[in-house]
Structure 1
Amino acid sequence: MTTALITGSTAGIGAAFARRLASDGHNLVLVARDTKRLQEQATELHDRHGVEVEVRTADLATDDGIETVAARLSDRRAPVDLLINNAGFGNKGRYLDVSMADELKMLKVHCEAVLRLTSAASEAMRERGRGGVVNVASVAAFVPRGTYGASKAWVVQFTQGVAKDLAGTGVRLMALCPGFVRTEFHQRAGMGTDNIPNWMWLDADKLVAAALSDLARGKTLSIPDPRYKALMGLVKVTPRGLLGGVSSRTGRKYGPQ
């Protein structure tokens, strides 16, 4: 049986990955900050699917938290075959309204943690000649929207670049770019969602199914919904100056309230 490690596993997209991978027979290593929720999640998945579930309490905004997970990924005695770098968060407010400490914390989780965990996992996977990494980004990566969008753009560029460097080694990497997903993400950030049209919302379980299908097909970038694929197609042909204005207006309309 293969083992998957999922960061930010207790809610949203991370929890959807855990449910799907457990139902497919994968053993799991679940990573999050809340030990109680991790233990409850582990018990439920073990009892329902009969898989082995390990929990690691770690805050990926800290060096100790990142090192804890990196050490687990580097353990050759208990190899991890699939890494899902899903942990992340949003800050409410425009640039300069958000504290520098919160901006740096976001970069720590979205960029540094992704870099260090991807590196730890990929090195061990390359030695075995097989493995996969899914780095969860966002469609915000393709539009100018402050630190959040910039950090997710980094995830996309980093992941696709590493995928090219490791081509032929048996290690597959993919950046997953969802749109709005019904999770705890917005609530935790104190963001209102009543003004977001229903058609823009995605289902986490369907999103995960599409993502795993794209990974199996060897894609390095997954935008797992026709609606967002179409939107991102328009983004590609829109002049950057115009796109910045549209992005700013859209962010004020559909972003944090």
Structure 2
Amino acid sequence: MTLELHGTTALVTGASSGIGVEFARALAARGSDLVLVARREDRLEAVADELSAAHGVSATVIAADLGEPGAGARLVEELATRGLRIHTLVNNAGFGTYGPFGTIPLARTAQEIQLNVGTLVELTSALMPQLIEARGIVVNLGSTAAFQPTPGMAVYGATKAFVLSFTEALWQEVEGTGMRVLAVCPGSTASEFGAVSGTTASSAEFGARQTSAEMVAEAMRSLERTTAPSMVAGRRNRVLARLVRLVPRRTAIAVSDRVMGRARVRAGQAASHPAGSAA
């Protein structure tokens, strides 16, 4: 069953590239108006123009750095000022850092946690009343990194484990309200994530990449079925996610360490990379 979203408005974070753009395209194709949020206003304007022309929807652009403390509250205030009510929330914005934990500046780690976890929770909490009233949709971007600790990307994996657990619990809490809640866990996806995190390990070791469009199409099919609180995109990724549950925890960690390139402390190793909005 294809979702009918005419007359609704979707907020998509991290909407300037990759997965965020594809979610915006999928929602606009189903008739939803859009609020597109990311740091790069020029990129957002280009996406807004494309989707307005292609689907006749309204696309509002709000440039904001959601990695700053309080960014979620400020965004909700901006929505209220513009008279925008949200029926679908796609918490896509996020980034990862790569390298031994001790080499990554604490300020960078704090920004990663704020964007991947803090702002996601803040936006979901603030918009819940109108989402419940609208029998709306929440999609939170997790990752296959959520299923086991990830040496070399320790904080990123931990944030995505939080997103998965939080979203699945929320799915149960809203049972009977008519809301749809889904955690989407992509594996290696062609996006800006590797450039942002500074690693290409996941693209090689986890098998063939999905495109962002393929991943989002799969996520939308899962959302339309409304039968599960989470989904893993890609057949190979689903198999690996199931296998992780069957092996001893220390084995899963060791395998994850090999996949991530056995990151170790090295003198002069670069550990911080520019912020991005890849999930």
For residues 22 and 41 of structure 1, the distance between their equivalents in structure 2, rounded to whole angstroms, comes to 11
Please state if 1:112 is matched with 2:113.
no
**Residue pairs, 1:1-257, within 5 angstroms:** 1-71=7-77, 77-128=83-134, 130-145=135-150, 146-192=154-200, 196=204, 199-218=207-226, 219-252=228-261
Scaled by the length of structure 1, the TM-score of the pair is: 0.92
**Equivalent pair of 1:74/1:121 in contact (CA under 8 Å):** no
- Cα distance, 1:176 vs structure 2: 0.5
Distance verdict in 2 for CA 1:111–1:81, change over 3 Å: same
Letter of the 2:71 counterpart: G
For residues 219 and 241 of structure 2, the distance between their equivalents in structure 1, rounded to whole angstroms, comes to 17
Question: Relative to structure 2, which stretch is displaced further, 160-169 or 63-72?
Answer: 63-72
- Relative contact order, CA 8 A, sep 6+: which one is greater? 2
Runs (5+) with no aligned partner, structure 1? none
- Cα distance, 1:39 vs structure 2: 1.2
For residues 89 and 146 of structure 2, the distance between their equivalents in structure 1, rounded to whole angstroms, comes to 21
Letter of the 2:225 counterpart: R
- Cα distance, 1:186 vs structure 2: 0.8
For residues 6 and 195 of structure 1, the distance between their equivalents in structure 2, rounded to whole angstroms, comes to 25
Runs (5+) with no aligned partner, structure 2? 1-6, 264-269, 272-279
Distance verdict in 2 for CA 1:183–1:51, change over 3 Å: same
For residues 259 and 51 of structure 2, the distance between their equivalents in structure 1, rounded to whole angstroms, comes to 39
For residues 80 and 174 of structure 2, the distance between their equivalents in structure 1, rounded to whole angstroms, comes to 17
**Equivalent pair of 2:189/2:212 in contact (CA under 8 Å):** yes
Q: Secondary structure at the match of 1:84?
A: strand
**Equivalent pair of 1:74/1:124 in contact (CA under 8 Å):** no
- Cα distance, 1:24 vs structure 2: 2.0
Question: Relative to structure 2, which stretch is displaced further, 2-11 or 66-75?
Answer: 66-75
What is the aligned length? 255
Query: Where do 4+ consecutive residues of structure 1 move more than 4 Å?
Result: 72-77
Distance verdict in 2 for CA 1:38–1:231, change over 3 Å: same
Please report the RMSD computed on the Cα atoms of aligned residues, expressed in angstroms: 2.2
Quote the sequence identity (%): 36
Question: Relative to structure 2, which stretch is displaced further, 198-207 or 97-106?
Answer: 198-207
Letter of the 1:186 counterpart: G
